[in-house]
Amino acid sequence: MAQPFRLQVVLDVAERRLDAATRELQRLRAHWTEAQAKLDQLAAYRTEYSARLQARLALGLAAHQLRDYQAFMGKLARAIDAQAEEVQRRRLAWEQEHTHWLGLRQRQQALLVLAHRHRITEAANEARAEQKQQNEFALRAVSKPPEGG
């Protein structure tokens, strides 16, 4: 009878940890993507408002309106800088979790290799035991005197 894989519990735990890390990696990637989308949107606003400012300047703009545009553009620039930092922070969080995930995956893969080797060894042991049993039956059949004769 085949022996159970002694590290099966460890393999099961490794697989659960890898699954949890995979979900966390996906969650962090979604947050990173969301932060990048906000940054892209802010950059588009900046482009749009810069174009509006240029069009208004061509038509003539009062000084107080120019100051308002400049103040708004300054706030927009600060928001873009803050969002760029957020994108960087989320990217780093994803990279750290990815490194952690890679380690868990490597451990799980190593345990899978051990489980596979165990199955191969057990199958070979069973095949040898079966062959030995067949050889013993064959020897008994040959050494047994014929009946009835």
> Does the structural domain 8-142 have CATH classification 1.20.140.10?
no
pLDDT in tens, 11-47: 999 999 999 999 999 999 999 999 999 999 999 999 9
Mean residue pLDDT of the chain comes to 93
Supply the pTM of this predicted model.
Answer: 0.75
- Find, among 41, 21, 31, 22, the residue nearest to 87 by Cα: 31
Cα 29 from Cα 90, distance rounded (Å):
8
pLDDT in tens, 66-102: 899 999 999 999 999 999 999 999 999 999 999 999 9
Tell me the helices (H) and strands (E) count for the chain, helix number first.
2, 0
pLDDT in tens, 37-77: 999 999 999 999 999 989 988 888 889 998 999 999 999 99
CB 99 within 8 A of CB 25: no
